[in-house]
Amino acid sequence: MTKILPTLSRRTTLLAGLSLAFGARVFAQSAGPQRAPENEAYWARLGVSLRGKTALVTGSTDGLGKEVARQLGALGAFVIVHGRNAGRGEEVVRAIRAAGHGDAAFHRADFASLAGVAAFAEEILETYDRLDLLVNNAAAVSGAERQTSADGHELAFAVNYLSHFLLTYRLLPLLEASAPARIVNVSSLGQTPIDFADVMLERGYNPGDAYRRSKLAQIMFTIDLAAELDPAHVTVNSLHFARSMNTARVINGGFQPLSTVEEGAEATMQLAVSPALAARTGLYFNGLNEARANAQAYDVEARAKLRALSVELTGLELRG
């Protein structure tokens, strides 16, 4: 998964990120035994084809997003590759094209700016006439010192949650017009309840809590949006994909990987393309298995507070 990182030492940021999943195990069911990684060949054997389909994967120039983009392309999709680094983005595009199954194009956007997200959404709407799959994957891991987005919001909350809240609603008309479509929110096993008296952690900043709260917000958003949409047209599901994958950032930081990018992609691809999940919506998965998230995700009042705050901060005008 592409990480949008503040300017801190690599090891400091990694320590914050790698500790995230361990603090919230009590809030989610165990994923249980994991199958061997299944790539695009598995879905092809099941008759899954994405030819003629368009998929957008945010944060797809590295890590999990890059592998998911590659697998979607291998199934024949046109993949909209997103990130901040044009060089890495074009590399992903070339790799998808070279495989000879799908096609791709890179679009740059900084998700630490709501104006940047809105402009990105407008660019997608103007460029493409369909969108069958949206994978909200881009993420920031906050460092030891609290940092803010271009709009003054705590960085992890802004990038991991608010940006995708805004992007999803802006792209919803195109997703609905392409029905049946899917939205996959890449969340985390690490989840901490949101303190609505200090959402932006101005009084008691902790990098782990910042990340975990943003990821729980994604799950709360998933449940609300799923209830709003007709599952025959658009489904919305979220997942914790894997723990500490074997990315260059983890390995170069001197940490022992606990899973592989392929395992994370397998779990994400299940929500993206599995026929078994057609019309199933509002769910949270721990890896390959349906699970329960933090209790706050199922608190109607808490979700209403988050929704109202999100509308206010993004300036969205939601349909009635």
pLDDT digits (tens, 9 = 90+) for 7-28: 333 333 333 343 333 333 323 3
Q: Please confirm, yes or no, whether 211 is among the known catalytic residues.
A: yes
**Contacts with 308 (C-beta within 8 Å, 6 or more apart), sequence order:** none
Residue 97: C-alpha distances to residues 55, 102, 134, 317 (Å): 15, 6, 20, 38
pLDDT on residue 246: 44
- Report domain extents, the chain: 10-314
CA distance 178 to 234: 9
pLDDT on residue 282: 98
DSSP 158: I
Q: Collapse the DSSP code of 313 into the 3-class scheme (helix H, G, I; strand E, B; otherwise coil) and give the result.
A: helix
Q: Please state the pTM of the whole predicted model.
A: 0.86
Task: Locate 73 and state its tokens.
Answer: 């392309």
At 229-288, the pLDDT tens digits run 999 999 999 999 965 444 444 434 444 555 688 888 999 999 999 999 999 999 999 999
Task: Locate 183 and state its tokens.
Answer: 């939205």
**What is the band of 85 on the pLDDT scale with cuts at 50, 70, 90?**
very high
Q: Collapse the DSSP code of 159 into the 3-class scheme (helix H, G, I; strand E, B; otherwise coil) and give the result.
A: helix
Q: Collapse the DSSP code of 269 into the 3-class scheme (helix H, G, I; strand E, B; otherwise coil) and give the result.
A: helix
Domain 10-314 class? alpha beta
Q: Which of 161, 211, 284, 298 is catalytic?
A: 211
